[in-house]
Chains A and B, each alone.
Chain A
Amino acid sequence: MKPAAPQEAGPPPDWLEELARRLPAGRVLTAPEDLEPYAFDGTAALRTRPAAVVMARTRDEVAATVRFAAERKIPLVGRGSGTGLSGGSVPVAGGLVLCLARMKRILEVDAANLTLSCEPGVLTAEVAAAAEQAGLFYPPDPGSMKISTIGGNVAENSGGLRGLKYGVTRDYVLGLEVVLADGSVVWLGNKCVKDVAGLSLKDLFIGSEGCLGIITRLLLKLVPKPPARRTLLALFGSMEAAAETVSGIIAAKIIPCTLEFLDRTTIGAVEAHARIGLPTEVAALVLMETDGHPAVVEEEAEGMATIAKANGALEVRVAADEAEALRLATARRSAFAALARIRPTTILEDVTVPRSELATMVAFIQATAEKHDLRIATFGHLGDGNLHPTILTDETNAAEMERVEAAIGDIVDETLRLGGTITGEHGVGLAKKPYLRSQLGEEGHALLRRVKAALDPDGILNPGKVHD
C-alpha cells in the first residue's frame, strides 16, 4: 500500500540565488532529485522536502548561511548523517537544511591532555578509531556510530551501549564552537579538567537538538583504553529472569560497561540479518560486557555469570575473542533496523525508568501490547534503565495507527508515573514533542521556551522541534 501523493512545496523561493551568491560554488543544492533524499532522517513516517540544502565546508560558510537565514527569517535545520530517531533533523517546509557532513577533519589528538578536537561531520566511529590509535578510548557508542556524526551526537546528547558505566556524550564534551542564531561565533570551553568560570554555557548546546545554535568544532574528552574486556551472553527463559539478573548485578555492586537485552522477537530479527548463531528460541538474551584491569574484568565476568545462573539463566556463553565480542555488539546495534523485517513500520520508543522499576516497566509494555492488540518488540540498555519498546506496525493502516498512538500514550504515562523520562537518548524532536509538557510540568516547559527565546528570538533554528 502506498500513501496518496501529497503536494510538494510550491515554486522555489526567490532567495535561492542570493544564498548561492554568498557561498562558494556548488554549496547549495536545489534540484528536487537532490532535495528529496534530505526530506527525512532515521525516524519513521516523517518527511518534508526542504527548499534547499547547504553543504557547508567551513565554519565561515556555516556562519554565512545562518546569518542569511536570520536576515530573511528562514527556518534552518542542522543535519549530520540524518540518523536521528526523533525527527530532530527532519526539514521544515520552505526552509533550509544546513548539512555538516562534509566538515569531517580531525584536528588534533592531544595525548598529554587526553583530548580530541574535530569538526562536527566526523563520524562517531572515526572519533573512536582516532582515539584508539593513540591508545585512548572514546566511550559513547550510539547504535548508529558507524555513520552518525559527532556533531549530531552532541546536538542530541546521544547515549549508547556503554552508558551504564561511562555515561553519555555530554560527559565527554570539554568545549564547543557554536554559530549562534544571529550568525556570530562563540567558543565555549577549554582543555581543563576543572572550570567554573561562569555558567557552563557549552552544556546549553549539548542536547539542544539544533534549536539554540550550530556546532562547528568540538573538543572531546578521552579516557585511557581499558586493557582488558570480556563479553558474555546469558540466555533466559523469561523476561523477568533477565530483569532480575540485571538487578542482581547492580545490587552486587558490579558496574559492567554494557548490559543489553533483546527479547525473543528482536533476537529473531537480528539473527535473520546477522546470522551469527544467536539462539532464537529463548525468551530473552542479555549481552554483558565488562572492561578495565584484567583482574577486575575476570572477577566481574565470573560474578555476572554466577548471578545470571542463580537467576535461572538457561546458559551463559563467553565470547572466545575480540572478533566474536565485536560480532555480538555489532549484531545488537542492528536491532532497531532489523525489526523492520517483521512489519513495514517500526516505531521506536526510548523511555527510561529508574533501574529499580525495570521489571515493572517491562511487564507493563507486554501488557500494553496485549491491551491494544499490537506487536511490540523490546530491546535496550537494561543496565541504565533505557528501554526501546518498538511497535511493529503499518503506517498505512489507520485503525492500527490509532491503537499505536494510544499504546504510546499508556507507555509514556506509566514511565512518568515510575519517575522516568520520555527519552533517554534519542531526543524530543518531533516524535516526543507531544509528551514533553507532561514530563517537565508547566513551569519547566515555560523555562525551556524562555531559554529558546533568549538565544533564538526569531525562532529560525529548527523551529517546531522539541516544543512549539
Chain B
Amino acid sequence: MPDSATQARDAQASRPGPGVTGGARGFLHDLDYSVVQQCIHCGMCLPTCPTYDETGLERNSPRGRIALMRAVADDRMEVTRAFGEEMYYCLGCLACTTACPAGVNYAELFERARAEVERLGVLDHPRRRWVRRLVLGGVFTRPRLLRLLGRLLWLHQASGGQWLFRKLRLTRLLPAWLRELEPMTPPIRPRFSDRLIRPIEQPAGPPRRRVAVLTGCVQDLIYPEINRDTVDVLLANGCTVVTPPLQPCCGSLHAHNGDLANARGLARAMISLFEEERLDAVITNAAGCGSHLKHYDRLLADDPEWRERAAAWSAKVRDISEFLVETGFRAPRGAAADGPGRVTYHEACHLCHGQGITRQPREILKTVPGLELAELAESTWCCGSAGVYNITQPEQAAKLLRRKLERIAAVGPRVVATANPGCLLQLQNGARAAGAAYAVVHPVSLLAAAYRAEPAD
C-alpha cells in the first residue's frame, strides 16, 4: 500500500550515531530518527494547540511543525527564515504532548528545532544577536550578576526612579522595542531568597526527610516569598531543607530558546552544586523549571561523563505539589471562616503537560480550610506567558491572556492559584490591567498561610 512516490529509503549505515548533537550535520539530523518517525500524523494534537486554534493552518500545528522538522531531517527542505519563525511561533506549551496517543517527544523536537534555527542563524539580526548574547549568555549564566541587576532594578523601582523615568517620559529615549517592554518590568522584591532562607533549616520535630529547594532565577528576584513558603511547608512536613544561597539558573530559558550549549553547562553546574548532599529529593516550585530539570538526563545523554549523574539527578527532582502528595503531607488545621474563599486553579503548561501533574495541586488546595475550589474552564490552555513568549510574540500572547482572563472572570474567584512564575506574572499583569479584584498566588503559598494560621494547641 505505500505510495511509490514517497518510499525511497536509505540505510541506517549512512547516518552518524547519536554522538555529538548539533555537529556538522545539525541538531535535527543528529536526532535519533525514531523520534521524528513517532508522529503518525493522526491529528489528535490539533484541537489542543493554541496556535492552530488561532490560525487553522497546519504549519501552525504540532504535526505540521513536526512535518517541517522531518522534511529538514530528510534533506527535503532547508532551514529557512519561515521555518525559524514557525518554531518561535510555537508556544512550547506541550499541550500536544498530553494529547498525543503515540507518545511523541515534542519537547525534544522543539528544542532541537530551535537550536538548529540558531545554529544556522536564519533569524539573525544584530539586535536579536545582541539581546540573546546579553540575556542567555551573559546574565542568565551568572547568578551573581543577575542578582546585582535585580538589586539595581529594585533600587530604580523603589527609589521612585522608575516613576520619575516614566513621568519625565524618558522612556522615549529607549528604542521602540524596549519602550514597549518597559511597563512589563516585574516589580523586584527588596530581599531575595538568600536573605529569606537560611542554607539549612531544620523542622520542629525529628527530621523525616532531607530535601533541597531550588530558588530559581526570575522567581528569586520577583517571588522569593514563594520560596520561603515552600521551605515553610516542607519544614511543617518534617523535612530538613537545604537551600544553597547562590544557585545557577536551571537553563530552561536556554534550552527552550535554542541555546543547548549553555543549557548543558548550567545543568552540569546545577548537578554539581547538589551532588555532595545526601538528598531524598530536589524540590522545585516553578513548573517551567521543573519540567526542564527532570530532563537533564535527556539533555546530557550524549555526555559519557555526565550521563549517569544526570539520570540520578532527574530521578530526584520533584515539583513541590508532587512531593507533598507523594509523601502524604499533613492537612492544615483551622477554621473555615479564615480561609481564602473561592479559588480557581490555572494549570501551568509545564506542570500539567510538561510533567503530567494535575491532581496534586488540587489535592493540596482542597485541604486548605475555608477554600472552595471552583474549576476553571480550559484550565490547561496556555495563558500566553510561555517563558519569554509574551516578549517575543506579544500579539499572540495577548490573545491568549485575554481568553484566560475571560475564563477566570466566568468563575469569579477571590484567588487564582497557579504554580509557575511566568503564569503568575502574566496573570497578575493581566488582572491589574483589567481592573480585576482577585489575587494570583502560588498554591504552596495558600498552604503555607494555612499552616501559619493554625491555632496553637
Contact, CB under 8 Å: B56 / A101: yes
Contact, CB under 8 Å: B57 / A42: no
Given contacts A37-B59, A37-B64, A146-B44, contact A3 B102 (CB under 8 A): no
| Interface presence of A358 (CB below 8 A) | no
Contact, CB under 8 Å: A40 / B1: no
Contact, CB under 8 Å: B67 / A37: yes
| Interface presence of A320 (CB below 8 A) | no
| Interface presence of B272 (CB below 8 A) | no
| A246 CB, nearest partner CB in chain B, Å | 25
Residues of B within 8 A of A176 (CB): none
| B36 CB, nearest partner CB in chain A, Å | 8
Given contacts A37-B61, A336-B42, contact A431 B102 (CB under 8 A): no
Tell me the residues in window 423-441 of chain A with beta carbons closer than 8 Å to chain B beta carbons.
430-432, 434
Residues of A within 8 A of B1 (CB): 45, 347, 405, 408, 430-432, 434
Q: Which of A2, A272, A405 contacts B73 (CB 8 A)?
A: A2
| A44 CB, nearest partner CB in chain B, Å | 6
Interface residue stretch chosen among B5-13, B129-137, B340-348, B402-410: B5-13
Contact, CB under 8 Å: B44 / A3: no
Contact, CB under 8 Å: A37 / B46: no
Contact, CB under 8 Å: A36 / B67: yes
Tell me the residues in window 107-144 of chain A with beta carbons closer than 8 Å to chain B beta carbons.
123, 125, 144
Interface residue stretch chosen among A82-90, A155-163, A308-316: A82-90
Tell me the residues in window 398-431 of chain A with beta carbons closer than 8 Å to chain B beta carbons.
398, 401, 405, 408, 430-431
Closest chain A residue, CB of each to CB of B3: A46
Interface residue stretch chosen among B78-86, B238-246, B320-328: B78-86
| A100 CB, nearest partner CB in chain B, Å | 11
| Interface presence of B378 (CB below 8 A) | no
Contact with A along B14-37 (1 / 0, CB 8 A): 010000000000000000011011
Tell me the residues in window 4-48 of chain A with beta carbons closer than 8 Å to chain B beta carbons.
4-6, 8, 29, 31-34, 36-42, 44-48
In the complex, A395→B3 CA distance in Å? Answer: 11
Instruction: Summarize B's interface: helix, strand, loop or mixed.
Output: loop
Residues of A within 8 A of B86 (CB): 33
| A91 CB, nearest partner CB in chain B, Å | 11
Residues of B within 8 A of A5 (CB): 74-76
Q: Which of A36, A46, A396, A398 contacts B6 (CB 8 A)?
A: A46
Contact with A along B43-80 (1 / 0, CB 8 A): 11011000000001111010111011001011111001
Residues of B within 8 A of A185 (CB): none
Contact, CB under 8 Å: A395 / B2: yes
| B25 CB, nearest partner CB in chain A, Å | 12
In the complex, A83→B43 CA distance in Å? Answer: 6
Tell me the residues in window 44-59 of chain A with beta carbons closer than 8 Å to chain B beta carbons.
44-48, 55
| Interface presence of A334 (CB below 8 A) | yes
| A30 CB, nearest partner CB in chain B, Å | 12
In the complex, A273→B38 CA distance in Å? Answer: 14
| Interface presence of B40 (CB below 8 A) | yes
| B314 CB, nearest partner CB in chain A, Å | 20
Contact, CB under 8 Å: B42 / A337: yes
| Interface presence of A147 (CB below 8 A) | yes
| Interface presence of A106 (CB below 8 A) | no
Contact with B along A317-354 (1 / 0, CB 8 A): 00000000000000000111110110011110000000
Closest chain A residue, CB of each to CB of B58: A37
In the complex, A22→B17 CA distance in Å? Answer: 51
| B260 CB, nearest partner CB in chain A, Å | 22
| Interface presence of B100 (CB below 8 A) | yes
Contact, CB under 8 Å: B59 / A33: yes
Q: Which of A40, A47, A337, A347 contacts B101 (CB 8 A)?
A: A337
Contact, CB under 8 Å: A2 / B10: yes
| Interface presence of B41 (CB below 8 A) | yes
Interface footprint category on A:
35 or more
Given contacts A4-B8, A36-B67, A273-B101, contact A81 B43 (CB under 8 A): yes
Residues of A within 8 A of B40 (CB): 42, 44, 337, 340, 345-346
| Interface presence of B103 (CB below 8 A) | yes
Given contacts A47-B3, A101-B56, A395-B2, contact A36 B38 (CB under 8 A): no
Given contacts A33-B86, A45-B3, A93-B5, contact A340 B101 (CB under 8 A): yes
| Interface presence of A1 (CB below 8 A) | yes
Given contacts A123-B47, A344-B34, A431-B1, contact A36 B77 (CB under 8 A): yes
| Interface presence of A165 (CB below 8 A) | no
In the complex, A6→B1 CA distance in Å? Answer: 18
Contact with A along B135-171 (1 / 0, CB 8 A): 0000000000000000000000000000000000000
Given contacts A39-B67, A337-B100, A347-B1, contact A3 B8 (CB under 8 A): yes
Contact, CB under 8 Å: B3 / A48: yes
Contact, CB under 8 Å: B71 / A144: no
Contact with A along B78-118 (1 / 0, CB 8 A): 00101100100000000000001111000000000000000
Residues of B within 8 A of A81 (CB): 43, 46
The residue among B36, B61, B74, B102 with the most chain A CB atoms within 10 A of its own CB is: B102
Tell me the residues in window 188-205 of chain B with beta carbons closer than 8 Å to chain A beta carbons.
none
Residues of B within 8 A of A55 (CB): 56-57
Contact, CB under 8 Å: B41 / A41: yes
Residues of A within 8 A of B38 (CB): 340, 344
In the complex, A434→B63 CA distance in Å? Answer: 28
Tell me the residues in window 341-384 of chain B with beta carbons closer than 8 Å to chain A beta carbons.
none
In the complex, A348→B64 CA distance in Å? Answer: 22
Supply 13 further A-B pairs (C-beta < 8 A) apart from A48-B6, A341-B101. Answer: A1-B33, A2-B73, A5-B75, A33-B86, A42-B42, A42-B43, A45-B1, A82-B43, A123-B47, A334-B44, A340-B101, A396-B9, A401-B2
Closest 7 pairs between A and B when the two form their complex, measured CB to CB: A37-B64, A37-B58, A337-B101, A340-B102, A334-B101, A338-B101, A5-B75
Residues of B within 8 A of A (CB): 1-3, 5-12, 15, 33-34, 36-38, 40-44, 46-47, 56-59, 61, 63-65, 67-68, 71, 73-77, 80, 82-83, 86, 100-103
